[in-house]
Chain A
Amino acid sequence: MNRRIIGAIVRKDLRVVRRSRALMTPLIVLPVLLMIVFPTVFTFLPRIVGGARAAFAEMFRNLPDPVKQQFGEFTEATWIRVVHTQMLAPLMLLVPFMVANVIAADGFAGERERKTLEPLLYTPATDAELFFAKLLAAWIPAVMIAFGGALIYAVLVNVTAWPVMHRVFFPDLTWTVMVLWMSPAFAALGLAGMLLVSLRVRGMQEATQLGGLFVLPVIALVVGEVRGAILLGPFMAVLIGLLVWGIAAALLAFGVRRFRRTTLVGKL
């Protein structure tokens, strides 16, 4: 593999994404919403909205026993821990998934739609180099945004919760595993899904609509976590991460066999 060729394609793709308002808007809004706005609002909610504390206490009472046992009696500190380590944590996985999904859609279907794929096919980049470059162009920013956002999230939570917690309580081990192990896996899943869809459709709009369906595992995880069906501890996080890595790897292996110039040129 020629790293210079791969690097050139990755840099070109990222530059193109950076300059697209239509792409950058979701890439900024979603992380800001999930990693800054949500944690801040949920930390302060019991103090700023009358009745919120009682509502959260009720919600806490309805959680499955194993979850309640893990957190003890309901206090404001309990609420903060439940929100950040249990309820909001899986939502964070949407960020690497969506970022990878959106960039991959632009890199595959978008490039075809803009008719800029053909000159790439005429370069000496091998099919594998093209494929790998397109993957990296989507995966690297997704993971970087996930890691950067997670760092901001952690700092923000500790700062905003300081008056209640009086210590650095976040992140815990589960959350750390989610960030370092699961979020790269979900980024891989997002781009693998988009790759498969993009090989079949012609336009960006079609690709984003179909590719978005691959978000369902994340939604399932969030719902399962909130309803107590899944109790996400470090071990479970490692297992789910492994499963997602496995699915993503299988989809990518399937995709790489179909990612051939001779196939792509037929869709130009």
Chain B
Amino acid sequence: MPAILLDHVLHRYGDTVALRDLSLTVEEGEVFSLLGHNGAGKTTTVRIVNGLLAPAAGSVLVFGRSPLTEGAVVRRRTAVLTESPTLDDRLTARETLRAFAAMYDVPRAEARSRTDALLAEFGIAERADDRVGGLSRGMKQRLSLARALVHDPDLLFLDEPTAGLDPVATQQLHETVRQLARTRGRTVVLCTHNLVEAQALSDRVAVLGGGALLALGTPAELARRITPRLEVMIEIDPTRHADAVALIAALDGLTVSSDRIGVLRVGGIPRERVPDIAARLVTGGIGLYRLEPHEPSLTDAYFALQDGGKGAP
């Protein structure tokens, strides 16, 4: 059973369409990223999946249940880390976790031990009895994540989880996400602008633009599908630089540039033509020292999609 099933979901805020005909499936145990600019529909999707918004059309199922009619049951299995740490400054870190453990109906004894464990795991134990208002932004973000995990959710939504975190805390959060998904089988949905993070963590990504699904697949699939041509860095015998440039420039559809003698950057190469270029250089008597294809990244794909999606409905 999929963790999330969205089927032709439409949502409007007044006259503005926030989600248009969005259909996607998130499998259990998957790390899934929702990518998109501000206003792309990421937060709206999270709210609909958690029963905070009712879609104007389409259907939503979370672990086979409707968040609209069985919201409490669904939310017992989900957790949301909102973009800004929405913590009450007047509570202590420990009180925050215990209060939310009770709200998620975690048994008392378990809530106590889980709270202590999370405070230790996220490095807040020493400040556990300090008011949240006195904690640093990074600590607040870690506390927010601890709060989201206090009931051991099956499905975790992380909205810009590393915004404001230092590199160490970011790495720790990435490790937590990997551990949750790989070793504990939890489903994680990342809503992010951070494409490097999405590429590093996600099994699959969905790119949203203007409330519509622009693309869906693994980061590598998307990158290849959206930007099928490679850029290749070629290091050759510097004395044959001009010959190499002339040879490659004569080939259809390729662009050649160079920052220094002996190193060429060739763009627009279809993947299947890379061996051919290498063969031509070698048969032309040009010493080939190194040939390094630059794989298109999720970032390349994202910007290609968003540029193409500007006019999308």
Contacts and interface: CB of A to CB of B under 8 A. Distances in A.
Given A118-B86, A122-B79, A261-B71, A11 B105 contact: no
Given A115-B84, A119-B82, A126 B100 contact: no
Contact of A16 (B86, B88, B104): B88
B128 to A, nearest CB: 15
B54 interface: yes
Contact of A12 (B53, B75, B88): B88
Contacts of B47: 265
A47 interface: no
Contacts of B53: 262, 265
A65 B147 CA distance: 65
A226 to B, nearest CB: 40
B78 A8 contact: no
Nearest to A120: B103
Interface in B14-54: 47, 50-54
A15 B76 CA distance: 24
A217 interface: no
Given A122-B78, A125-B72, A16 B91 contact: yes
Interface string A11-27: 11001100110000000
A5 interface: yes
B52 A124 contact: no
B295 interface: no
A114 interface: yes
Contact of B82 (A5, A118, A261, A262): A118
Given A261-B51, A265-B53, A124 B90 contact: no
Contact of B86 (A4, A115, A124, A262): A115
B72 A119 contact: no
A102 interface: no
Contacts of A4: 102, 105
Nearest to B84: A115
Interface in B80-107: 80, 82, 84, 86-91, 95, 99-100, 102-105
A148 interface: no
A116 interface: yes
A5 B91 contact: no
A122 B80 contact: yes
A8 B147 CA distance: 14
Contacts of B71: 124, 126, 261
Contacts of A121: 52
A2 B105 contact: yes
B103 A9 contact: yes
A15 B88 CA distance: 11
B73 interface: yes
B61 to A, nearest CB: 17
B127 to A, nearest CB: 17
Given A124-B75, A126-B71, A15 B105 contact: no
A114 B88 contact: yes
Contacts of B51: 261
Chain B CB count within 10 A is highest, among A9, A20, A123, A125, for: A123
B90 A123 contact: no
Interface in A47-78: none
Given A125-B103, A262-B53, 10 more contacts: A4-B102, A5-B105, A115-B86, A116-B88, A119-B82, A119-B100, A122-B52, A123-B103, A124-B73, A265-B52
User: Across chains A and B, which 3 residue pairs bring their CB atoms closest together, nearest first?
Assistant: A8-B102, A19-B90, A12-B99
15 contacts: A4-B105, A11-B99, A12-B95, A15-B90, A16-B91, A19-B131, A115-B84, A116-B87, A118-B82, A120-B103, A123-B100, A124-B105, A262-B52, A265-B47, A266-B13
Interface of B: 13, 47, 50-54, 71-73, 75-76, 78-80, 82, 84, 86-91, 95, 99-100, 102-105, 131, 147
Interface of A: 2, 4-5, 7-9, 11-12, 15-16, 19-20, 114-116, 118-126, 261-262, 265-266
